Amino acid sequence: GILGRRDVPAHMEAMAQHGISPIDLVVINLYPFEATLAKEGCTLAEAIENIDIGGPALVRSASKNYNDVAIVVNPADYDPVLKEMDAHNGGVTLETRQRLSRDAFAMTARYDSMIAGYLSGQMGEASQFPPGYQLGLQKIQDLRYGENPHQAAALYREAQPLKTDVVQAKQLQGKQLSFNNYIDMNAAWELALEFEASAAVVIKHTNPCGTASGKDQMEVFVKARETDPMSAFGGVLGFNRTVTAATAEEIVKNFVEVIIAPDYEPAALALFAKKKNVRVMQMPALEDHTKKSRMDIKRIGGGLLIQDADELTLDPNQLKVVTKIQPDETLLEELKFAWKVAKHVKSNAIVYARGQETVGIGAGQMSRVDSTRLALQKANKEVKGCVMASDAFFPFRDSIDAAAERGIRAIIQPGGSIRDEEVIQAADEHKIAMVFTGIRHFKH
């Protein structure tokens, strides 16, 4: 009755012979596999029990025969389909049946991809990069436009995003988020989560233009903003603590695009309400922000590059001091702060910091020495006595010499260059402490 084609006499004759009536409308809700996975403590047995078998077969059968059958799998389509049936004597137009068929096939594809993804996760590292890779994305909304006004764009949600993933953010006020807002907001949030103490992040075009961490949130934000106040104008702000009224008073002094934080004091929201265009985003409570998405995906022409997300944290016990000058504990804390920020700066990345605040950031230059000089140029404060972080090794001593001219005290970098000895010698000549991490953080 579902697959029988009305325009094929043999089909109609066989149906009549066996007493099978044609079915014009199929409405199905599959077992709640996705909702089951979302439950706290979901077991493998519970997940398997909620894998629908017959339902997808019915959906696919009805979808295949859209010429004669309307398939409805989304409750949001109930009212529109009923209204269309009322307007067409109980029928549904071919155009609508085609759309419903497309949506149904997309739904079963996503359903199967969720199952495959879940089972791959249960298999552990052996299936980290399986022969096939399913994303199982669901459209959330159309965006005004993409990276540029001539580009169309939309937001899609993964099947099982983590609670700390930006796609979970709730908009409390402001204009619709743009494609670029989402990218910058994600960058701000991920950097803010690097810190245990209260942190403030200012992002522009996905690069940090200021970051600070400490006890007083308002003071921390001011320090982050003052790293590069010109670039901070129109930026995206990230916080890892509830935004206070005192911080909000500082924020509203300048134009910002987006603010993202776990929560906001009522008085802070009242201040933001006076700036109606500012997009205020709230993230779910930070239960465990150490659990992050496992995979990082980048598109190339005709394919996808899939890798582990860069979630490796610095192990203080693995730090190796390679110079005659030994950094004390205070200096090591400054170096670790600068290193966390450098991880989130586009390569080649150089970060100057003092205490727990950035002083100058050099991002995205094709040579490391140019990033070194750019960070010095961008510094809004005196850099003498600052520490320096580099996301990758120094291929030559020129960056060390340039930093030494401005009084840099200590440097943290991965090491691993064939000219490490030359670079270490330069640091010793300038009486600069240098620490190797053994970890590279390229970001493209």
Average pLDDT estimate for 152-161: 90
Structure tokens at 406: 């401005």
User: Tell me, what's the pLDDT at 122?
Assistant: 81
**HSE (side-chain half, CA atoms, 13 Å) at 287:** 8
Mean pLDDT of the chain: 93
Domains 9-126 and 312-436 share a fold: no
What pLDDT, on a 0 to 100 scale, did the predictor assign at position 136?
Answer: 80
| Domain residue extents for the chain | 9-126, 171-282, 312-436
Q: Output the CATH code of domain 171-282.
A: 3.40.140.20
pLDDT tens digits along 126-148? 567 777 777 888 899 999 999 99
Mean pLDDT, range 32-49, rounded to an integer: 92
What residues does 298 pair with on adjacent strands?
A: 305
Contacts of 432 (CB under 8 A, 6+ apart): 323, 325, 400, 403, 404, 408, 409, 410, 411
pLDDT value at position 289? Answer: 56
The set of catalytic residues is 64, 205
Q: What whole-number percentage of the chain has pLDDT above 90?
A: 82
Q: Report pLDDT digits (tens) over 259-288.
A: 999 999 999 999 999 999 999 999 986 665
Tell me how many degrees the CA angle 216-218-221 measures, rounded to the nearest 5. Answer: 105
**Can you give the pLDDT at residue 390?**
95
Q: Model confidence at 305, in pLDDT bands (50, 70, 90)?
A: very high
* 389 bridge partner residues: 351, 412
- What pLDDT does 125 receive? 56
Residues comprising the chain, all counted: 444
pLDDT digits (tens, 9 = 90+) for 186-240: 999 999 999 999 999 999 999 999 999 999 999 999 999 999 999 999 999 999 9
DSSP secondary structure letters along 284-349: PP-S-TT---SEEEEEETTEEEEEE-S-PPP-GGG-EE-SSSPP-HHHHHHHHHHHHHHTTSPSS-
**Any residues with CB less than 8 A from the CB of 15 and at least 6 apart, and which?**
1, 4, 21, 22
As its CATH architecture, domain 312-436 has 3-Layer(aba) Sandwich (3.40)
Residue 152: both structure tokens together? 């169309």
How confident is the model at residue 133, as a pLDDT?
Answer: 79
Per-residue pLDDT tens digits for 86-140:
999 999 999 999 999 999 999 999 999 889 888 877 876 556 777 777 788 889 9
Q: What is the pLDDT of residue 284?
A: 84
| pLDDT per position as a tens digit, 51-75 | 999 999 999 999 999 999 999 999 9
Long-range CB pairs of 364-371 (<8 Å, 24+ gap) are 364/207, 368/392, 368/394, 368/395, 368/399, 369/396, 369/398, 369/399, 369/402
User: How far is the C-alpha of 52 from the C-alpha of 56, rounded, in Å?
Assistant: 7
Question: What confidence category does residue 321 fall into, taking pLDDT thresholds of 50, 70 and 90?
Answer: very high
Distance CA 293, CA 302 (A): 24
> 9-126 domain in CATH 3.40.50.1380?
yes
Region of 266 please: left (phi>0), alpha (psi -120 to 50) or beta.
Answer: alpha
Q: What local confidence, expressed as pLDDT, does residue 382 receive?
A: 87
Encoding tokens for residue 322?
A: 């390679």
The answer to whether 151 and 173 have CB atoms below 8 angstroms apart is no
pLDDT at 116: 87
What confidence tier does 332 reach under pLDDT thresholds 50, 70, 90?
very high
Residue 155: pLDDT band by 50, 70, 90 thresholds? Answer: very high
pLDDT in tens, 388-418: 999 999 999 999 999 999 999 999 999 999 9
C-alpha to C-alpha distance for 275 and 258, rounded to whole angstroms: 11
Task: Return the pLDDT at 54.
Answer: 94
At residue 237, what is the residue type?
L
Angle at 93 between CA 92 and CA 94, to 5 degrees: 120
